[in-house]
Structure 1
Amino acid sequence: MTQRTKQIHLAAHFPGVNNTTVWSDPRSRSHIDFSSFAALARTAERGLFDFFFLAEGLRLREHKGRIHDLDVVGRPESLTVLTALAAVTERLGLAGTVNATFNEPFELARRFASLDHLSAGRAAWNVVTTSDAFTGENFRRGGYLDRADRYTRAAEFLATARELWDSWSPEGRPRPFAHRGQHFSIEGEFPVERSPQGHPVVIQAGDSPEGREFAASAADVIFTRHGTPEAGREFYADVKGRLAKYGRSADDLKIMPGVTFVLGDTAAEAQEKATEIRRAQVSPQNAILALEQVWGVDLSAYDPDGPLPDIDPDPRSQLVQGRVKIGDPLAVADKWRALSEAKGLSIRQTVIETTARQSFIGTPDQVAADLTESVRTDAADGFILVPHLTPGGLDDFVDKVVPLLQERGAYRTDYEGTTLRSHLGLREPVWKG
């Protein structure tokens, strides 16, 4: 009997807080108008993607006291956009990033249950946390949580939301709920009956040991970032290996890295286009901004085409606020210097090489082959595609790569179910009555 090719899962990311979009390209359109969201979502649905993914920021990032150049100012709130998209799509999953640090379980559980009903079972929640006081200033509670505390709060937050979703039986019978815990003490009656999926799909994005453990214990999908297939396989084996102690199987969690792609008629053409795109994404100005994020000091006097600074970073700096730190500044600086010296790279070239996502570059046939091989060798279960153009950046992939994946038997030729759980091959959660 011929073994069935492992199936690829695909999703589409609409960038917001990003260094992906090539804003200078005349084909780049609004990141605010609903028509852009609708166009990208419809393309993803035409390509039979599992879901459409929206990120979210709770405060505009600042650099030297000014709004960061790469932030989208005026971006609509994610769940509002997804609810509108439910009316212009039929099968595509709708995934929104919403913070568990500065929200409350009852309200968020109600909003996601509502989206799941309005979309007939296509809602997903990307659970994220925030640890910085800069973001906390936008909220009444203010302040911030220590790194360990934000994950314990997120775990209790998600468990509480699931208690609320389970307060209605599958037959439509409600019952009062009561939760007593370290972070939440609530009781009452949940006003929204059990949703079509039982629970909306839960996505988690985190690569730390705490994040990996949280994903293994509670998530349905993990959105990650790895630059090589080798790193992807290490992450895949590690996280999947944590599932058994929570009574879960490997199929209960899908691992989907965020990736980019560049297509060309020849491999050389695709590589040339990829180089042009990366140079457009990392302008001389943005190269210095990226450098200052690590060093924490004003480096505007440095030449982007010159060598990296020979001074050490300031780990206590508040030069950049509201942006996730790349890592330990001293360790990152040492790594960048070693790479720069080994390859003779300038500041801009170093930033280009160190800040890129994993990318699939080549002819449509080569990209289809590489995607299939990555999933076959357990570097991932699928991919969240981050196009460099919005909203038309997925068109070539859907038109040229998807048919080749289908010919290889690695991708669906039609949606087999109606809910996001069915697209992902996830079981409906057992009702805990």
Structure 2
Amino acid sequence: MSKPLKQIHLAAHFPGVNNTTVWSDPRSGSHIEFSSFVHFAQTAERAKFDFLFLAEGLRLREQGGKIYDLDVVGRPDTFTVLSALAAVTEHLGLTGTINSTFNEPYEVARQFASLDHLSGGRAAWNVVTSWDAFTGENFRRGGFLPEEERYSRAKEFLATANELFDSWRGDEILVDQDTGTFLRDAKAGAFVHTGRHFDIHGQFNVPRSPQGRPVIFQAGDSDEGREFAAADADAIFSRHATLEAGQAFYTDVKRRLATYGRRPDQLLILPAATFALADTDAEAEELAYEVRRQQVSGATAIKHLELVWNRDLSSYDPDGPLPDIDPDVGDDHIAKGRAQVRMYRDRLAIAREWRERAAAYNWSIRDLVIELGNRQTFIGSAETIARTINEFVQSDASDGFILVPHLTPTGLDEFADKVVPLLQEWGVFRTEYEGPTLRDHLGLAHPDDARDREAAS
């Protein structure tokens, strides 16, 4: 007897902090104007997606002492955008990336509890950490937290926030039927937390929200990150988007859940995914190639190479060969606020490898950078992409995908119109929302469900 088909989860990443957007396309719109967020969110909701996902940029990136203006410059506040979107959507989940290194638990818990109330139970929190002293300077805490302690603080941060969410219990909240005002006993909202990173006590001033707590996402891929997710998260925003890598990651993370008394269905694996959609597979391949060429301009290629060479390469021709000079291995890096800096620590070894690859294939600097970048996750006609997505989910390479289109705000439109109806026709994706909250969309139990607490104990 074959096992029942898994239901696919789909979400949309508003591409505001990334290197995937094609700025030169005339259809590319603003990343700040609210109309862009509205179009993107309402398209996702029309397609019955689980949620919209916002990344977070806390400081403008710099390179060579100047603002890095080849990527997003400027980023509206996450809570402001999500709160505004709550008023123009009815069902779509609203997921925000909020840093646990430069914020405080009371502040963040209050903001998410408020968003959950405003949206009728659709809030989610992507809990991230920051290793970056450059970003920390905006908070007057540059370098204050050693990198090895970031998950220690994050775990205590989340645990403390949960204590605040849980400080209001359902049986402590009463409403005066005549006036409509809240009545509560003196203990409702009271909290005391003493730990390594936080020593706070007081009274939380936002009553229990529709979901009890926001849905918790985690985006780390290190061993520490996987353990953090297995212990505390409801979903992982993963970068493993090939079938084999996805299956390995899926198996590894799901097996960790038992250590924390959790079932495999209590944590969803949702990789980021890009796509190139056209009428035929051949046309989609051509589109994918063209998009990759547009994503990596000559200037972008040079700036990317500087991440490894750690020196000004503006005099080099992006359509010419790689530099003969070696990288500068000094500690002071030319790029600030770029995550790739940490990926390229052994600069001499990487430079040798890149030179060898470029020589073997006769690649220019731009050719190399284009090839180093990931190909689109899904390339093909609507049917090809739908079948591939379904194959990934049914073969336990993921539980669904967070789609990152290369155009804003219209990049989801064609996917919603052509791919989603096929998944619905095959019975692997919803035709209507099952309930009012994001936990309903994701198949996650409410924290106050006693049966779920017993199963997790």
TM-score computed with the length of structure 2 as normaliser: 0.91
For 1:92, the equivalent position in structure 2 comes to 92
The answer to whether structure 1 residue 198 and structure 2 residue 212 are counterparts is yes
**Paired amino acid for 2:410:** G
Map 1:59-208 → 2, pairs under 5 A? 59-173=59-173, 174-208=188-222
SS in 1 for 2:340: coil
Distance 1:24 1:356 in 2: 20
The Cα shift of 1:304 comes to 1.7
The answer to whether structure 1 residue 277 and structure 2 residue 285 are counterparts is no
The Cα shift of 1:359 comes to 1.7
Question: What runs of 5+ residues in structure 1 fail to find an aligned partner?
Answer: none
8 Å CA contact 2:307–2:344 kept in 1: the answer is no
Question: What runs of 5+ residues in structure 2 fail to find an aligned partner?
Answer: 174-187
Distance 2:9 2:319 in 1: 40
**Paired amino acid for 2:383:** D
Distance 2:94 2:344 in 1: 34
The Cα shift of 1:387 comes to 0.8
**Paired amino acid for 1:279:** R
For 1:235, the equivalent position in structure 2 comes to 249
For 1:322, the equivalent position in structure 2 comes to 337
The answer to whether structure 1 residue 298 and structure 2 residue 298 are counterparts is no
SS in 1 for 2:274: strand
After the TM superposition, which of the residue ranges 182-191 and 297-306 deviates more from structure 2?
Answer: 297-306
**Paired amino acid for 1:59:** R
Distance 1:383 1:145 in 2: 33
Distance 1:280 1:138 in 2: 32
**Paired amino acid for 1:60:** L
Distance 2:112 2:350 in 1: 38
Distance 2:247 2:352 in 1: 26
* Structure 2 CA distance for partners of 1:329 and 1:303, relative to 1, 3 Å: farther
Deviation digits for residues 21-40 of structure 1, max 9, x if unmatched?
Answer: 11111111111110000000
Distance 2:292 2:13 in 1: 18
* Structure 2 CA distance for partners of 1:48 and 1:309, relative to 1, 3 Å: same
Deviation digits for residues 224-275 of structure 1, max 9, x if unmatched?
Answer: 2125221111111111121110111111111111111111111111000111
Distance 2:350 2:435 in 1: 45
Distance 1:28 1:138 in 2: 30
CA RMSD, Structure 1 to Structure 2 (Å)? 1.8
Distance 2:356 2:225 in 1: 29
**Paired amino acid for 1:391:** P
8 Å CA contact 1:229–1:374 kept in 2: the answer is yes
The Cα shift of 1:357 comes to 5.8
SS in 2 for 1:12: strand
8 Å CA contact 1:226–1:358 kept in 2: the answer is no
8 Å CA contact 1:17–1:70 kept in 2: the answer is no
8 Å CA contact 2:40–2:412 kept in 1: the answer is yes
Distance 1:342 1:207 in 2: 32
The answer to whether structure 1 residue 420 and structure 2 residue 417 are counterparts is no
SS in 1 for 2:157: helix
Deviation digits for residues 133-159 of structure 1, max 9, x if unmatched?
Answer: 111111133434222211100110000
SS in 2 for 1:131: coil
Deviation digits for residues 258-313 of structure 1, max 9, x if unmatched?
Answer: 11111111111100011111100100110111111122122223222233334443
Deviation digits for residues 161-199 of structure 1, max 9, x if unmatched?
Answer: 000000011234414110000000000000011111111
8 Å CA contact 1:228–1:358 kept in 2: the answer is no
Which protein shows a greater Rg? 2
After the TM superposition, which of the residue ranges 297-306 and 156-165 deviates more from structure 2?
Answer: 297-306
For 1:221, the equivalent position in structure 2 comes to 235
For 2:278, the equivalent position in structure 1 comes to 264
Q: Which runs of 4+ in 1 moved over 6 A?
A: none
For 2:13, the equivalent position in structure 1 comes to 13
SS in 2 for 1:329: coil
8 Å CA contact 2:60–2:74 kept in 1: the answer is no
For 1:35, the equivalent position in structure 2 comes to 35
SS in 2 for 1:95: strand
The answer to whether structure 1 residue 406 and structure 2 residue 424 are counterparts is yes
Distance 1:333 1:196 in 2: 53
Q: Indicate the percent of aligned positions where both proteins have the same amino acid.
A: 65
SS in 1 for 2:139: coil
Distance 1:295 1:222 in 2: 33
Report the count of equivalent residues.
Answer: 433
